Amino acid sequence: DAGVIQSPRHEVTEMGQEVTLRCKPISGHDYLFWYRQTMMRGLELLIYFNNNVPIDDSGMPEDRFSAKMPNASFSTLKIQPSEPRDSAVYFCASSTPGLAKNIQYFGAGTRLSVL
């Protein structure tokens, strides 16, 4: 398996533009998580899905952020409009419960720079 695949790896955009980050979870995993990592705040959980349904979005910073999971193999995190303070590395992770007890497998991340 190729693991969790995120795209793009790097994104540079200007303030006010829409940004869409993409994630393909590991096949068979029914949980998908979006995280944001910054030096100041560390690793923050933004939202997670179970079986394509958003379960907890309490970590989403504000209405400018939205996430969707139209099917089991694809999720997007959208920021509209983007602001410089959104600059961070965004990680997607997937997992499956059971014996593995929610071990999360992370993608390589998308480094977002908003100018």
User: For other proteins, which residue of 60, 67, 93, 114 counts as binding (CB under 8 A)?
Assistant: 93
Long-range CB pairs of 65-73, under 8 A, 24+ apart, other chains included:
67/34, 69/32, 72/25, 72/30, 73/24, 73/25, 73/27
- Verify binding: residue 4, other proteins, rule CB under 8 A: yes
Least separation in angstroms between residue 111's CB and other proteins is 9
- Verify binding: residue 69, other proteins, rule CB under 8 A: no
User: For other proteins, which residue of 26, 82, 86, 107 counts as binding (CB under 8 A)?
Assistant: 107
Torsion sign (Cα): 87, 26, 7, 111: positive
- Verify binding: residue 44, other proteins, rule CB under 8 A: yes
Least separation in angstroms between residue 97's CB and other proteins is 5
Residue 62 burial (CB count, 10 A)? 8
Please, are residues 110 and 10 in contact by the beta-carbon 8 Å criterion? Answer: yes
Q: Which residues bind other proteins (CB under 8 A)?
A: 4, 33, 35, 41-45, 50, 55-56, 58-59, 91, 93, 97, 101-109
